[in-house]
Amino acid sequence: MATQTSIYPHEVGRDLIPELATRVYSSQLDSFREAISNAFDEGSKQVALAITKDRIVIEDWGGGIKDYDEFRKFGQASKKSRKGEIIGEKGLGKLSLLNLGRTVRFETNNSSIGMRFYMTLAGFTKPEYGKAGSFLSHRGTKITVTKLANTVDTSEVASYLRKAFGLRLVRGADITINGEPVKPRFAFDPKETLLFRLKHNIDVTGNVRFSEGGKGAVDVYIDHVFVTSLEVDMRRKFEGWVNCNDLTPETSRNNIIQNKVYKEFIIQLRQYALRFPLRDIIIDEQKLMLSRELNTMLRSYLKDMKVNIRSGFNIKSSSGGRSVAELKKSKAVKETLEQTRQQPLEKTSSKKIDGTINVRWEYADLGNEKEPIYFVPPNTIYCNTSSDLYRFAVAKNRYYGLTWIRVLPYLSRIAVIMSNGSSLRPEEFNLKVDQATRYFLKQKKII
């Protein structure tokens, strides 16, 4: 007779709640976003914030809290079973309110009964019950946060909410701070159209258009709430925003989980961006040779670390603008092109080959606000030609040492990010970067 294995469910210790409340969300601004998101999920079209030096009040006109015991739970994806665009997923957002202050009072009216109870890091108090209008005269929920952790800058909150809920505001949602309306802020057209469709009839909508000053990046929304800005093709002149409800945000809602849907999304988005014109970026022989050398080093690292990504460098698609045609006039560059063609590299269309993804090296003029050389998941490395640090790294000056040595800090970071993602703690990440640096130095027989 087979032995039966008993399964005991996980039990949450008391120390987990403070961890979730104070560390999942990196900023107090996220707490405002989560509270407003919960209000929208409950059907409210209006949210009023009242912020003073000693308290924060967040009031909505939604459906109210219907079940106290269900409200106290977290970690259950119950909201996503509802129809329509539901922002919240697992009930963790309410814990973020403890980032704002140590005591959170809930007063609610669900049209049937009224409730009032408190939440602290220790837990929830027993609710007081009354008639529907006992604690709040209208249907909805009123949250009052006291014993504040920090002074709140209302202008900073307003600016954050303009970006987070810009699309919702355009569509009629009303958010006020101390009686002043938060107005949508768009530097581009909020008109929405179907851009393309992923597998399983997943729609990607938005508004992406040509812009002479565009940086080749877009704002990404899920359920029409801003999540992150995404660098799509920094060589091209466009800007805008996209919305895809089937993307999965990280718990903090400040980034996107890089699952299969995301990878298909980014590949098709980059294909969509090919319609926009390239910038004119001068790529000389030195840059081409440097990219090829770095690519060889990185490919060796990824192979030895058994990372499932194929790195490749294709000069034609990595040059940008008309510079390659002009550079072909140079005999040295012709030789470089010919040598590169002889390498067994795949096209830079992000096509999957044997379960791997081809990594593209691109050049773009991004200014000092971006790193000199950095990785954009899932498969692009950008050389920021207008960065002061990049110019230093590739400068032709014998007193600065070897070029690849100057670039090594950035290459080591890229190698770790590609092999470990963003899951490492800072101390672990730094240790891995040191290990990657030693690897490259050994590869070059320096140590």
Which class for 287: exposed (0-12), middle (13-18), buried (19 or more C-beta within 10 A)?
buried
Residues 217-247 as b/e (b if ≥16 CB within 10 A, e otherwise) read bbbbbbbbbbbbebbbbbbbbbbbbbbbebb
What pLDDT sits at residue 82? 54
What pLDDT sits at residue 10? 66
What pLDDT sits at residue 186? 62
Does the CA dihedral 95-100-104-105 come out positive or negative?
A: negative
What pLDDT sits at residue 432? 93
- Stronger pLDDT, 252 or 355, i.e. the higher one: 252
- Whether the Cβ atoms of residue 56 and residue 144 lie closer than 8 Å to each other: yes
**Conformation bin of residue 339: beta by default, left when phi > 0, alpha when psi is -120 to 50:** alpha
Mean pLDDT of 90-111: 89
What pLDDT sits at residue 182? 95
CA atoms within 13 A on the CB side of 376: 26
For residue 261, which of 271, 248, 252, 273 has the smallest C-alpha distance? 248
Interior angle at CA 377, CA 371 and CA 382, nearest 5: 35
What pLDDT sits at residue 213? 87
What pLDDT sits at residue 90? 58
In the predicted model, is pLDDT for residue 140 greater than 90? yes
Cβ partners under 8 Å of residue 35, min gap 6: 47, 58, 93, 94, 96, 97, 143
Q: How confident is the model at residue 122 (pLDDT cuts 50, 70, 90)?
A: confident
Tokens of 20: 């979730």
Beta strands in 165-309 (DSSP E): 174-177, 180-181, 193-198, 202-210, 217-222, 225-231, 238-243
The secondary structure of 343-385 as a DSSP string is S----SS--EETTEEEEEEEEE---TTS-SEEEETTTEEEEET
In the predicted model, is pLDDT for residue 340 greater than 60? no
For residue 391, which of 416, 418, 363 has the smallest C-alpha distance? 363
- Stronger pLDDT, 221 or 15, i.e. the higher one: 221
Interior angle at CA 355, CA 295 and CA 372, nearest 5: 30
Backbone angles phi, psi at 238, to 5 degrees: -160, 165
Task: Convert the pLDDT of each residue in 264-320 to its tens digit.
Answer: 999 999 999 999 998 877 777 777 788 888 888 888 888 888 776 644 444 333 444
In the chain, DSSP finds a helix count (H) and a strand count (E) of: 13, 19
Q: How confident is the model at residue 110 (pLDDT cuts 50, 70, 90)?
A: very high
- Stronger pLDDT, 445 or 26, i.e. the higher one: 445
Question: Where does the chain hold its CATH 3.30.565.10 domain(s)?
Answer: 16-181
What pLDDT sits at residue 159? 94
- Whether the Cβ atoms of residue 350 and residue 267 lie closer than 8 Å to each other: yes
For residue 56, which of 102, 14, 13 has the smallest C-alpha distance? 102
Q: How far apart are CA 439 and CA 191, in angstroms?
A: 50
In the predicted model, is pLDDT for residue 351 greater than 50? no
What pLDDT sits at residue 324? 43
Mean pLDDT computed over every residue of the chain: 82
Give CB contacts under 8 A, 24+ apart, made by 390-397: 394/286, 394/287, 394/290, 396/286
Tokens of 441: 């130095």
Task: Convert the pLDDT of each residue in 144-165 to its tens digit.
Answer: 999 998 899 999 999 999 999 9
**Residue 61, amino acid:** W
Q: How far apart are CA 107 and CA 115, in angstroms?
A: 6
3-state SS, residue 243: strand
Tokens of 24: 């999942």
Tokens of 80: 């996503």
For residue 51, which of 139, 141, 136, 158 has the smallest C-alpha distance? 158
Cis amide bond preceding 426, omega within 30: no
What pLDDT sits at residue 190? 83
Mean pLDDT of 84-92: 65
CATH fold, domain 16-181, is Heat Shock Protein 90 (3.30.565)
Give how far Cα 372 sits from Cα of 354, 368, 391, 392, 411, Å. Answer: 31, 8, 8, 10, 10
Backbone angles phi, psi at 95, to 5 degrees: -65, -25
Mean pLDDT of 19-40: 84
What pLDDT sits at residue 331? 43
In the predicted model, is pLDDT for residue 339 greater than 80? no
What pLDDT sits at residue 103? 95
- Stronger pLDDT, 393 or 13, i.e. the higher one: 393
Mean pLDDT of 126-140: 95
- Stronger pLDDT, 87 or 445, i.e. the higher one: 445
- Stronger pLDDT, 147 or 24, i.e. the higher one: 147
What pLDDT sits at residue 332? 41
pTM, to two decimals: 0.76
Tokens of 389: 């640090």
Mean pLDDT of 30-44: 93
Q: How far apart are CA 440 and CA 298, in angstroms?
A: 9
Which class for 429: exposed (0-12), middle (13-18), buried (19 or more C-beta within 10 A)?
middle
